[in-house]
Amino acid sequence: MTPLRFAILGAGFWSHCQLSAWQELEGVECVAIYNRTRHKAEQLASSHNIAAAIYDDVDQMFKDFPDLDFVDIITDVDTHVPFAKCAAELGIPVICQKPLAPTLELAEELVSFCQDRQVPLLVHENWRWQCTLRAVRDTLDQGAIGKPFRGRIQYSNSFPVFRDQPFLK
């Protein structure tokens, strides 16, 4: 079976997490990594022992790889929309880190842009699949508690959030 070929855009903290997860799956291969700072893209590839093509020019990456199976966008929010549109113009499915865009209007524009081109657009959001949140969603959908006007959910766990995520320090 030919593996799905993808590119990662961004080489920061979350890119390491995402690439580690992709490497646990069979049938996928990271063939390109883009980062505005080439050295960080090289470090990401090296630390995960992959031989991906390295880019600091996203347009060149898309020229060299116009037939990717998908892209995984893990950059600053201000780049999400333009990078996703570049991929969608080529018909490349997009997975994008949250938030999807800096504003609701830009997010809606991107959704329409991808829908018009029949290009799948997915948002990274692992919590949406948690059993407890799905149960809340089902309860709300059934109207079991009426129409809520406000809600609050708080999770507690032993994950060392501040230690392992430099941007939260």
- CATH superfamily of this structure's domain 4-126: NAD(P)-binding Rossmann-like Domain (3.40.50.720)
The mean per-residue pLDDT over the stretch 119-146 comes to 88
Q: Sort 112 into a burial class: Cβ within 10 Å, 0-12 / 13-18 / 19+.
A: exposed
What pLDDT sits at residue 167?
Answer: 57
**pTM score above 0.85:** no
Alpha-carbon distance values, 155 to 92, 126, 131, 163 (Å)? 35, 14, 13, 18
Length of the chain: 169
169: confidence class by pLDDT, cuts 50, 70, 90: low
Higher pLDDT, 160 or 8: 8
Return the domain boundaries, the chain. Answer: 4-126, 129-168
Average of per-residue pLDDT values in the chain: 92
Cα distance from N-terminal residue to C-terminal residue, the chain: 43
What pLDDT sits at residue 161?
Answer: 62
Q: What is the pLDDT of residues 65-100, one digit of tens each?
A: 999 999 999 999 999 999 999 999 999 999 999 999
